[in-house]
Amino acid sequence: MDARNFLHLRLKERALHGPHVTDKERVGLNGRIAVLITNTVGTMWCAYVFAAIALVSLPEAIKGGVAPLIAWVAQTFLQLVLLSVIMVGQKVSAAASDKQALQTYNDAEALLKIQDEVHQLIELNNNLTAEIHRAICTKQLPSS
């Protein structure tokens, strides 16, 4: 298979599949359930709810002294609230990564098309050069 045919096959394949982005990575029922839970827990509203739930036990932690207060911060507040905040950050990063992947895909698509056009021009140039060479060689032959 020559380079040009490979390029055309690759362009058709790319057009069929499109860019690979996060939303296309869900697989099966378990994947859909995991994404649903992630999208629910990974919101700032969920972080606010978790913070409110954690604050319910704060008065008891304060009454217990320094050790229970430190345990409350580390085990209750940070784990509940930071879980959602980190998930929100990951969703933002994934969205940015998807945008970057799409831009890279579009850039590569444009470069492939430009490469195909350049390849066509080179073939045309080679053919014209061969014709000119044949014409010159034919004219230079001595007439009998």
Q: What is the per-residue pLDDT across 92-134, written as a single tens digit (0 to 9) for each?
A: 888 888 889 888 988 888 888 898 889 899 999 999 999 999 9
Tens digit of pLDDT for each residue in 12-58?
A: 777 777 776 666 666 788 888 888 888 888 899 999 999 999 999 99
This prediction's pTM: 0.57
- Ramachandran bin of 103, using left for φ above 0, alpha for ψ from -120 to 50, beta for the remaining angles: alpha
pLDDT at 83: 86
Q: Does residue 3 register a pLDDT over 70?
A: no
User: What is the per-residue pLDDT for 4?
Assistant: 64
Give the per-residue pLDDT at 10: 72
Q: What is the pLDDT of residue 35?
A: 82
Q: Which residue has the tokens 């045919």?
A: 5
Closest CA to 11 of 138, 116, 101, 86: 116
What pLDDT does residue 144 have? Answer: 53
Instruction: Name the DSSP letter for residue 42.
Output: S
What local confidence, expressed as pLDDT, does residue 46 receive? 92
Residues whose CB is less than 8 angstroms from the CB of residue 75 and which lie 6 or more positions away in sequence, other chains included = none
Residue 113 has a pLDDT of: 85
Nearest by Cα to 47 from 11, 97, 91: 91
Domain residue limits, the chain: 3-140
Confidence category of residue 68, pLDDT binned at 50, 70, 90: very high
Q: Which of 44, 107, 118 is nearest to 81 (CA)?
A: 44
Query: Which whole number is the average pLDDT over 55-68?
Result: 93
